[in-house]
Structure 1
């Protein structure tokens, strides 16, 4: 049996999870998608370069790639193609088991939500792919707010939907932007990168 991350040192009344690379190991599949999309534009994306930027949005990743390599291609087109490729390979996505186990352990015991900077169809498909979607009645995505992470809006909306005060929420996150957003919302936050180590996505 997978051992869940220990949360006994925290006092909380609800749990809010990020999706990408927190509940689900999406980075390897996103790498396939982004590297293929830029390859189709005539460029090569190194795996190490990509993993140094896990956590930023797809658009920002492609903008950074253009800047780093002086690459010229249509970002919107490449982003759209990468999204299609991700969904095509979504069955390759695996759960981040120690985090997913927390969700299983607290299901029907405490209110829980997913708050993701991804788009709703992709987030919902990801949760389905790792067989965890039934655990969450509340899923908040980028379409639901004006400002995404690092603004606190996603987390505040999730807390509102759960009818729990922000300071009583415990957040699981994997990115600097997400942690900043949770802290700006006055929530407690666990950085899964520190708990699970740098290679947990490999």
Structure 2
């Protein structure tokens, strides 16, 4: 590992105050936490829906980036009074997302923490996304191999803010929920961690003051 990577890990460790925390395992959200995917997901949904003559405003989507796909679809129907086939839009959006996968960037401070923890404590991803997309995202930014477990919304009855994802990740890691530390970037994820009886770090305040973090741009 070069000096630049070491310095980033050291700065991230300090910024998240990890020296003062006790934990036996760490669980990371994916979208917005490990990977800066919001604009890519938005473009994929926007373009898929536009093929059905449905407009998806950027500011509307930006306020719901912690939502699962099912929640997004329900909200679109409720707010814009439109009809569409969930499976067809989801499939098309997945195709479009994969086509743009090279535009996904790591959230460097959080990815640096995952790299630092690799091999020292069990670490997992617990994401409200679909497994195919989550794994492709992690692979695209070069960190898929760091994680002992990857849990997605397809593995549980309920997504965030219910605790199911985090509880399953802890179970698969073989660590009690109370001994897990969570990294999250959404209100729904923070609530899910609370319901799972896990300590959680909201990465948003740290990222907004970290030079390496690039703000999302929906376009």
Whether 2:120 is the aligned partner of 1:103: answer no
Q: Following TM superposition, by how much is the alpha carbon of 1:139 offset from its aligned partner in structure 2, in angstroms?
A: 1.0
Whether 2:160 is the aligned partner of 1:145: answer no
How many pairs does the alignment contain?
Answer: 202
Query: Do the aligned partners of 2:40 and 2:104 also contact (CA within 8 Å) in 1?
Result: yes
Partner of 1:172: 183
Whether 2:130 is the aligned partner of 1:115: answer no
Aligned partners of 1:66 and 1:117: how far apart in 2? 20
Q: Following TM superposition, by how much is the alpha carbon of 1:64 offset from its aligned partner in structure 2, in angstroms?
A: 1.7
Q: Following TM superposition, by how much is the alpha carbon of 1:141 offset from its aligned partner in structure 2, in angstroms?
A: 1.4
Alpha-carbon spacing, 1:74–1:161, altered in 2? closer, same or farther (3 Å): closer
Q: Following TM superposition, by how much is the alpha carbon of 1:72 offset from its aligned partner in structure 2, in angstroms?
A: 3.1
Deviates more, 1:41-50 or 1:64-73: 64-73
Q: Following TM superposition, by how much is the alpha carbon of 1:83 offset from its aligned partner in structure 2, in angstroms?
A: 1.5
**1:11-22 to 2 correspondence within 5 Å?**
11-22=22-33
Q: Following TM superposition, by how much is the alpha carbon of 1:93 offset from its aligned partner in structure 2, in angstroms?
A: 0.8
Structure 1 stretches of 4+ with a deviation exceeding 4 A read none
Q: Which stretches in structure 1 are left out of the alignment for 5+ residues? A: none
Deviates more, 1:176-185 or 1:6-15: 6-15
**1:43-192 to 2 correspondence within 5 Å?**
43-192=54-203
Deviations 1:63-82 (A, max 9, x none): 32232222233333222211
Please give the TM-score of this superposition, normalised by the length of structure 1.
0.92
Deviations 1:126-163 (A, max 9, x none): 11011001111211112222222222121112112222
Root mean square deviation of aligned Cα = 1.7
Q: Which stretches in structure 2 are left out of the alignment for 5+ residues? A: none
Deviations 1:81-130 (A, max 9, x none): 11221112111111111100000111111111111121211111111011
Partner of 1:201: 216
Deviations 1:9-35 (A, max 9, x none): 321111100111110111111011011
Aligned partners of 2:93 and 2:204: how far apart in 1? 25
Please give the TM-score of this superposition, normalised by the length of structure 2.
0.85
